[in-house]
Structure 1
Amino acid sequence: MGANRKLQGEIDRVLKKVQDGVEVFNSIWNKVYDIENVNQKEKFEADLKKEIKKLQRYRDQIKTWIQSSEIKDKKVSTSYEQALMDSRKVIERETERFKVCGKETKRKALSKKA
């Protein structure tokens, strides 16, 4: 039972970090599209990349937990399983948004060269 409580504590910490990370990502995302200065925009895009990498590491941990026997065998409450699934989906959605930003950046860089 102690191991399950420890796992739940770990899951709670990661879910909180994911929530905070998504808020930071959204804040930076808004700055990227609100700013006109190219140098600042590039800095914010680099910050976006750094934040999405953190979120992807959390997603990998979440995937591991979802596949683990503790979660599958319901040793940890089902609300944790749902929270893990939801967090994974949120991270994947933000990753897709980041890819859009990356494509726009590349397209603008190529159009400037031409």
Structure 2
Amino acid sequence: MAGWRRTGEERHRLRAEVFAVAHAARRLAAELEAEAQQEPWRQPAWSHQPRPEFGRPAAPYTRAALDVLYAAEQALAQAVAADRAAGQTWESISGALGVSVDTAARRYRQLPR
């Protein structure tokens, strides 16, 4: 019974991480849509020089996409934990990831909770 409980807890954590990815992606899409409604000279991509004092940080699109990437990496780590809790082997997980068994285990074995 404890195995099923752990699997359910890991699945719940995975669902939370996936919602975080969706939230980060929706936030980026909304920011891009709002920007597209502005005059071209007000859009960060039109500025070659960062101007933080005017709300134009360096590499704004890269920074925004990194939030989505970080959330996706967290979701992937939680998916591995959920699969392990459900009894999946490192061999099956490494095959899905496209990495060696050692790499998968080393990368995801000691995940913080």
Query: What TM-score do you get using the length of structure 1 for normalisation?
Result: 0.45
**Greater Rg by CA:** 2
Considering fraction of residues, name the structure with more helix.
1
Please give the TM-score of this superposition, normalised by the length of structure 2: 0.45
